Amino acid sequence: MIAVQESLFAILSEKMGIPSAELRPDTTFEDLDLDSLALIELSVSIQKSFGVVVDEMELSPERRLGEVVAVIDAKARPA
Partner 1 sequence: MSSPARTDVAVTGLGLVTPAGIGVAANWERISSGRSTASPDDNLTGLGVDFSCRVPGFDAGALLGRRNAWRLDRVAHLAIVAAREAVADAGLDPATWDGARVGVVVGSSFGGSATYEREQARLAEDGPDMISPLLMVMAPVNMTAGYLAIDQHALGPNLVVSTACAAGTSAIGTARHLLAAGMCDVVIAGGSESTITRTTMASLHRMGALSTRRDSPETASRPFDADRDGFVAGEGAGMLILERAADAQARQARVYAHVSGYGASADGHHPSSPHPEGDGAERAIRAALADAGVEPGDIGHVNAHGTATAMNDVTEARVIRRVLGDHPAVTSTKGVIGHLIGAAGAVEAAYTVLAVHHGSIPPTANLSSLDPEIELDVVAKDARPATLRAALSNSFGFGGQNAAVVVTAP
CA angle 55, 75, 5 (to 5 degrees): 90
20 binds partner 1 per the rule CB under 8 A: no
Count of residues that interact with partner 1, criterion CB under 8 A: 12
The letter for the amino acid at 40 is: I
Among 10, 20, 30, 41, binds partner 1 (CB under 8 A): 41
Decide: is 15 part of the binding site for partner 1 (CB under 8 A).
yes
Q: According to the binding rule CB under 8 A, does residue 30 interact with partner 1?
A: no
Residue 56 is a binding residue for partner 1 (CB under 8 A): no
Distance CA 77, CA 79 (A): 6
Cα 37 vs. chain centroid, distance in angstroms?
14
Show Cβ contacts of residue 57 under 8 Å, excluding neighbours closer than 6 positions.
none
Q: Which residues bind partner 1 (CB under 8 A)?
A: 15-18, 33, 37-38, 40-41, 44, 47-48
